[in-house]
Homo-oligomer: A and B are copies of this chain.
């Protein structure tokens, strides 16, 4: 037991649960087909020692080999994506089923090869459905006719990462909250990894745990900077089977620098915001901002940092590097999220400014950070990047060519369906190996729908911005194609639209030609580009 670990675990009862060798925990507690939960969100704050040890055990005992009946595989629940440890487990084929989100080459490969089952869920809904008993339907819950108690048998084992434990047993979480409150409530057994490479992050968290209906109460937040919950989290000590030390750090890759196209997207959006302020549709300091992960999202936030807006507020799921610039220039008052996903550079920058900036950051459970109730009440501006949208405003965020899973819906749907401003942004065209504009982000009919036409207010690419509020489908189509499509695809999309209109006698609401709507995908599969060619092997124009 290291001195720093002893210093971090200040509760006697929990300190007495220290286990030196994590392999002892594997053999004692983990069994094939269990339902297990890991803390963490967007690759931050997940346990590392236990997953690594599980992998080592599996490899050493040659489990999960093709044809073998010796299996150690799990139903794995993490708030959103786990760190690299999830990919290591996927490599060992240790995951039977996974929800609600994932990121990693190996896990994606397992899902798309059929080895691992996956279902993506709204991130704020997932922990609640777990506590509704929806994912383990053979168990019986506490009797709701007699008690408002939450079930404590929906997960076999939960492993969380924390940064400390106070004298009173209150657990001090790290840089993410995610589904940890629900996981700890719902677990039969709990293992706590104290990560001593992290600073103790006391004061950052605002933790609430809601009852199941019919006992649920309002989440009475009306301001981004409100704290109504607890700083620390408490768990029934009887459930804790071990407290161990971790000295493994999270690895967040560097962001690619903002490019010309994402800067253009940012400038279109800033002009849009300024016009909204001019008409008094929002206040001068805008409304709470939600921003997805990725290059474009980062660039939009970067653009805001240099556009003169003051007293901005962020109500989002992930705190990212770009927000630090807003803190640095004094334009951001407060940021609420469920995870601080910073690159090593960003984390160093935050640590340098910890005393001031950490007071402006609030980490909440994902049931709060992503809750439609709050997103709607606060009137958020939600900005996310889809895989593609179609001419009527349906968006695909998950399944390439209708079938191949990327990462999952994440928080995009709950923000888009509930925000005051539902915005999607992406580059209008991307390259394939043979065509610099081989893939258009605007297609006639998306091959998979995650967000519907009913949700999208604004769509923006480097080409321009389409304000879709109050528009009917045919109006939307022209606006999206003319303002946002890449010039190489504009004529093709207009032709699809006008041909469909011509064919749509008596069904003119949202004209489609189901015989032709997927042709761009077929071009891509057969000829390496979504652009239609006259002859095979013909050169691109």
Contact = CB atoms under 8 A, between A and B. Distances in A.
A114 B121 CA distance: 37
A394 interface: yes
A510 B372 CA distance: 27
A143 B281 CA distance: 8
Q: Which 9 A-B pairs have the closest CB atoms?
A: A213-B379, A404-B507, A117-B472, A405-B509, A449-B449, A114-B508, A141-B280, A403-B507, A135-B470
B509 A399 contact: yes
A511 to B, nearest CB: 5
A372 B135 contact: no
Contact of A509 (B218, B404, B510): B404
Given A97-B472, A515-B522, 8 more contacts: A117-B475, A133-B279, A372-B417, A394-B449, A401-B514, A402-B512, A404-B507, A450-B452
Given A132-B281, A133-B279, A218-B377, A470 B511 contact: no
Identical chains in the assembly: 2
Interface stretch (A36-44, A163-171, A282-290): A282-290
A512 B511 CA distance: 23
B403 A504 contact: yes
Interface string A467-507: 10111111100000000000000000000000011001011
A216 interface: yes
Given A118-B509, A379-B214, A506-B112, A220 B222 contact: no
A316 to B, nearest CB: 16
A129 interface: yes
11 contacts: A118-B472, A137-B467, A139-B279, A141-B279, A145-B283, A216-B222, A216-B378, A401-B507, A403-B507, A404-B506, A514-B518
Contacts of A114: 474, 501, 508
Contacts of A279: 133, 137, 139-141
Given A120-B454, A122-B454, A474-B117, A448 B510 contact: yes
A112 B373 contact: no
A111 interface: yes
Contacts of A475: 117
B507 A454 contact: no
A17 interface: no
A426 interface: no
Nearest to A224: B214
A282 to B, nearest CB: 7
Contacts of A121: 454
A144 interface: yes
A267 interface: no
Contacts of A145: 283-284
Contacts of A404: 506-507, 509
Contacts of A377: 213, 216-218, 373
Nearest to A505: B113
A280 B144 contact: yes
Contact of A469 (B134, B284, B417): B134
A205 interface: no
Interface in A95-123: 97, 99, 111-114, 117-122
A517 B518 CA distance: 10
Interface string A337-348: 000000000000
Interface string A192-226: 00000000000000000000111011111010000
